[in-house]
């Protein structure tokens, strides 16, 4: 075991996968000589060569479209979108092409490819370096959407994503990159896509989250235990699509109280889907209305510190306060 931060776990895993399989190709903007703006591929070009670490033109639809072609002809491309905010020109390639290739050919062709995209805010990224994009893509059948939030999950899920026969959108919360550290096995291991993980056990309420918000929920849960003696169970969704409803429902049936916390703006987000699943399938197990905490429905996260803080934390300790209210309902 080695302690690593999230971005190092991603870097090391990607490195090992490239070393183990020459079908794995990395392509994207600045991934080569620059080593990626977050240094995920630092040194890769020198080690693996320019034909495996492809600095592309600044064209996101082309990056994903070319990666689809590579996947169709036997390679295992890992396409990096420099910031998730810039992925939108590639929406059509992901929606109309990658996600439908297998379905529209009745299983004849498939697109084994990974699209990595650093996402999320709280890092002074303003409108175009802070976005949450998961809901757009989790809505699309045929593409898997994951967002691991610990170094071990990032390593295990990246390995699973590269091995997956279908397209995976691998989202990496930038705020977690260096802030979140954890033990990672030195031996190669996989973490399955489509399984949530109970990051903290508890019996009094269920908190479902992912990304950077997960860590804030874990902090709030620890405080709630200390101050009120209330045990919050915190579930890390990890995989937004497919969504592990079984783990979520099992927890809710145990605690009878449910809360969903996510950074994306509230409306039509992942929280709506998770809340709907709970409402549909565990309504009579609940002792309180489902609580949904999302970002404000404003176009994006502003730059000024005070405004950004307001987006992330509209009132002091808002997650902790909501947990306490739900526990006392």
Partner 1 sequence: MSTQVSETALGSGLTGDDLLAMHRTMVTARLIDEAALRQNRMGRAPFVVPVSGHEGCQIGTAWPMRRGVDVWVPYYRDLGIVLVAGMTPEQVFLGIFSKASDPTSGGRQMPNHWSSRELGIVSHSSPIATQVPHAAGIAYAMKYRNEDAVVASWFGEGATSEGDWHEGLNFAAIHRLPVVFVCENNEYAISVPQAKQMAVADVASRAEGYGMPGVVVDGNDVLACYGAMKDAHDRARTGGGPTLIECKTYRFLPHTSDDDDKTYRSREEVEEHRHHDPVERFATELVDGGVADRDALRIAHDEVKAVVEAAIQAAWDAPDPDPATVGLHVFAEDPG
Active site residues: 129
| CA atoms of 87 and 241, how far apart (whole Å) | 18
Minimum Å gap between C-beta 43 and partner 1 is 21
How many residues bind partner 1 (CB under 8 A)? The answer is: 43
**For partner 1, which is the closer residue by CB, 100 or 253?**
100
Sole binder of partner 1 in the list 142, 148, 202, 211 (CB under 8 A): 142
245 is an interface residue for partner 1 by CB under 8 A: no
The β-bridge relationship of strands 144-146 and 168-173 is parallel
Mask of contacts with partner 1, 12-31, x by CB under 8 A? Answer: -------------x------
305 is an interface residue for partner 1 by CB under 8 A: no
105 is an interface residue for partner 1 by CB under 8 A: yes
Minimum Å gap between C-beta 216 and partner 1 is 32
Q: Are 88 and 52 in contact (CB under 8 A)?
A: no
Binding to partner 1 in span 47-66, by CB under 8 A: 51-52, 54, 56-57, 59, 61-62, 64-66
Mask of contacts with partner 1, 108-137, x by CB under 8 A? Answer: xxx---------------------------
Minimum Å gap between C-beta 51 and partner 1 is 6
302 is an interface residue for partner 1 by CB under 8 A: no
Minimum Å gap between C-beta 29 and partner 1 is 13
Q: Are 233 and 206 in contact (CB under 8 A)?
A: yes
Looking at 12-20, 139-147, 195-203, 215-223, which segment touches partner 1 (CB under 8 A)? 139-147
Mask of contacts with partner 1, 258-287, x by CB under 8 A? Answer: ------------------------------
Sole binder of partner 1 in the list 28, 35, 77, 182 (CB under 8 A): 77
Rounded to 10°, the helix 245-255/270-282 angle is 60
Binding to partner 1 in span 145-184, by CB under 8 A: 165-166
* Chain position carrying tokens 């899920």: 157
Residue closest to 28 by CA, chosen among 38, 20, 13: 38
Secondary structure of the chain in HEC code, one letter for each residue: CEEEEHHHHHHHHHHHHHHHCCCEEEEECCCCCCCCCCCCCCCHHHHHCCCCEEECCCCHHHHHHHHHHHHHCCCEEEEECCCHHHCHHHHHHHHHHHCCHHHHCCCCCCCCCEEEEEECCCCCCCCCCCCCCHHHHHCCCCCEEECCCCHHHHHHHHHHHHHCCCCEEEEEEHHHHHHCEEEECCCCCCCCCCCCEEEECCCCEEEEECCHHHHHHHHHHHHHHHHHCCCEEEEECCEEECCCHHHHHHHHHHHCCEEEEEEEECCCCHHHHHHHHHHHHHHHHCCCCCEEEEECCCCCCCCCHHHHHHHHCCCCCHHHHHHHHHHHC
**For partner 1, which is the closer residue by CB, 65 or 202?**
65
Looking at 87-95, 219-227, 255-263, 291-299, which segment touches partner 1 (CB under 8 A)? 87-95
Q: Are 6 and 154 in contact (CB under 8 A)?
A: yes
Looking at 85-93, 154-162, 182-190, 206-214, which segment touches partner 1 (CB under 8 A)? 85-93
Sole binder of partner 1 in the list 15, 102, 139, 223 (CB under 8 A): 102
195 is an interface residue for partner 1 by CB under 8 A: no
Minimum Å gap between C-beta 240 and partner 1 is 15
Q: List residues binding partner 1 (CB under 8 A).
A: 25, 51-52, 54, 56-57, 59, 61-62, 64-75, 77, 89, 92-93, 96-97, 100-110, 141-142, 144, 165-166
């Amino acid at each position: 075991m080695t302690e690593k931060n999230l971005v190092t776990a991603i870097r090391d895993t990607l490195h090992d996968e490239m070393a183990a399989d020459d079908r794995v190709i990395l392509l994207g903007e600045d991934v080569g000589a620059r080593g990626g703006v977050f240094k995920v591929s630092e040194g890769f070009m020198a080690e693996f060569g320019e034909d495996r670490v492809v600095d592309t033109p600044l064209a996101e639809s082309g990056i994903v479209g070319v990666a689809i072609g590579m996947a169709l002809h036997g390679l295992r491309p890992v396409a990096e979108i420099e910031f998730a905010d810039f992925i939108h020109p590639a929406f059509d390639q992901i929606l109309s092409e990658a996600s439908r290739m297998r379905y529209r050919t009745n299983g004849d062709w498939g697109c084994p490819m990974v699209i990595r995209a650093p996402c999320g805010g709280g890092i002074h990224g303003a409108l175009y370096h802070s976005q949450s994009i998961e809901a757009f893509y989790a809505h699309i059948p045929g593409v898997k959407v994951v967002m691991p939030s610990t170094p071990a999950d990032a390593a295990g899920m990246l390995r699973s994503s590269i091995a997956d026969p279908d397209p995976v959108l691998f989202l990496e919360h930038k705020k977690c990159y260096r802030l979140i550290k954890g033990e990672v096995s030195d031996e190669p291991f996989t973490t399955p896509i489509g399984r949530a993980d109970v990051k903290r056990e508890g019996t009094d309420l269920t908190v479902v989250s992912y990304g950077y918000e997960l860590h804030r929920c874990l902090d709030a849960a620890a405080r709630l235990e200390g101050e009120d003696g209330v045990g919050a169970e915190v579930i890390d969704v990890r995989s937004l699509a497919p969504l592990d409803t079984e783990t979520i429902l099992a927890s809710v049936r145990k605690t009878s109280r449910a809360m969903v916390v996510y950074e994306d703006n509230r409306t039509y987000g992942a929280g709506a889907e998770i809340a709907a699943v709970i409402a549909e399938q565990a309504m009579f197990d609940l002792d309180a209305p489902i609580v949904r905490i999302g970002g404000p429905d404003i176009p994006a996260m502003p730059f000024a510190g005070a405004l950004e803080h307001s987006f992330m934390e509209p009132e002091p300790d808002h997650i902790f306060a909501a947990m306490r209210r739900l526990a006392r309902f």
